[in-house]
Amino acid sequence: MALTPGKFSWQNTEEEESDASSGSFLANSGEVPEIALDKILPTMNQLEKKDQEIKENGGTKRKADVLRRSSEQMPPPLFSKPSEENTNKAENGQSESKDDDDNFSRPPPPKKERPPERRRDSLFITTNIGSQSDRGTREVNEDFRVVVPFKKSPGPAPPPTPAPIEPSEEKMPQPIGEETVATTRTNLTNDYAFFGVYDGHGGQQCANYVAEHLHNNVVGHPLFEQDTEMALRQAFDSTEVDYQTFCKEKKISDQIGSTACVGLIVKGILWVANVGDSAAILCQRGNSVKLTTQHTPKVDSEKSRIEKVGGIITNTSRLRHPVWHPVSLAVSRSFGDFIFKHEKYTSGKASGLIAEPDIVSMPLTTDDFFLLMASDGFWDVVTDTEACRYIIREYYRDVDSICKGLLQMVKTRAPQRNMDNTTVLLVKLADTQNVMSTIT
């Protein structure tokens, strides 16, 4: 008969099982088996040695120590009947997983080294987002921005026109005489997030309308999760059409337009879509990665597209109106600006101005430090690399301070310039320690 130390359970050897079957072992029947004297004497001798050790050393503390060591070294009682629970575990081949302090302990299994995580499947970490806007020397700030954290409920796709999702900051234009508007600072722990920068021109109405409706049209698309690119493209198109109807109803000028640069995180995938000259960069391990192409006639690809449809580009690299030649536009893609798009203004001639976005996507990884989106008022003065280095150096600070510092860079570098509206939106994707460790 073999006994497991500690928690007692019966584990009979083959010889003992044969003896039990022949009737020589009757512990379960309540009868005490005969035990050979040579099996008991070693136990009695051990007890006598321990008593002698206690007498020689004396003291209650020493006695307690000896007794404790004795209990650790002594075999379990010979005649203790196992509990029903332990008997069942022994029969099923199970053993106790928890060892008492008085029992021997097995060495822990070796730990398996996990490979470094290189991908986030969703935004389970907290993502810190902030933005700042500066009116510059303009009378009105026509820039708007939106930050919308949300979490879609499981089940069927949402209807095409859901209830509006409230942005995290009220989109109010900047009043005359004030330098900055309130900072948008949001902690995201959801699987989805939408953020955008909208740079209006000719008025505030178009940028304001797009900022209020574009994210709802994206999220409300029935294929939002299954085909995010299609959802983005069709949302841009429907927002353009809806804004045209809105202008007719509200008698808003067709000369008002807006750019749009939006970011969308869907289960760990970053999507960026843009029309116009607002732009976005992603910082990966200290290196800036350009995510957008600024849509202006200065860009070769845009110049070729415009000329292919018969559009005209001025000597100053602006988009000329097909009929009213003194009228021109700095961007080659935008929402609104219907005087460049509708036949009643163009006599059926194409100008080349469209609201079709360029779209890129990529999975977010632990190499991704932050996403920076800004209007052209920022990118005209600060390069991608300069912005990336500044944010890394100041990453330990809160997003309010970093965004204010970015705007201060523009003011410092162009103090005498007719400063444009400038808006920056920063999305922190990595923890501070990870980013600061790259500084040499």
* 85 and 134 part of one domain: no
Question: What average pLDDT score do residues 223-239 get?
Answer: 96
Scored b (16 or more CB within 10 A) or e, 100-115 reads eeeeeeeeeeeeeeee
Give residue 277's pLDDT: 94
Q: What's the DSSP call for residue 32?
A: P
The H-assigned helical ranges of 194-284 are: 205-219, 228-250
Are 256 and 373 in a shared domain? yes
Q: Are residues 212 and 355 in the same domain?
A: yes
> Is there a domain that residue 398 lies in?
yes
Query: 36: domain range?
Result: 2-91
Query: What number of helices (H) and strands (E) belong to the chain?
Result: 12, 18
pLDDT tens track for 326-374:
899 999 999 999 999 999 999 999 999 999 999 999 999 999 999 999 9
Q: Which residues of 10-26 are buried (b: 16+ CB within 10 A; e: fewer)?
A: beeeeeeeeeeeeeebe
pLDDT digits (tens, 9 = 90+) for 53-102: 655 655 544 545 544 554 445 545 444 444 555 555 444 545 444 444 44
Q: Are residues 269 and 407 in the same domain?
A: yes
Task: Give this prediction's pTM.
Answer: 0.65
Residues 245-261 have a mean pLDDT of 96
Number of domains the chain is built from = 2
On whether both 140 and 198 belong to a single domain, the answer is: yes
106 lies in some domain: no
Considering only CA atoms, which of 235, 220, 228, 243 is closest in space to residue 164?
Answer: 220
**Both 134 and 180 in a single domain?**
yes
Type of residue at 313? I
| φ, ψ dihedrals at 302, nearest 5° | -70, -40
Q: Is residue 233 within 8 Å of 356, Cβ to Cβ?
A: yes
> Using CA atoms, how far apart are residues 423 and 373, in angstroms rounded to an integer?
8
Q: 246 — phi, psi (to 5°)?
A: -60, -40
Concatenated DSSP letters for 344-410? Answer: HHHTT-----B-PPEEEEEE--TTEEEEEEE-HHHHTTS-HHHHHHHHHHTTTS-HHHHHHHHHHHH
Above 80 in pLDDT, residue 280?
A: yes
Q: What is the DSSP letter of 28?
A: G
Residue 165 shares a structural domain with residue 69: no
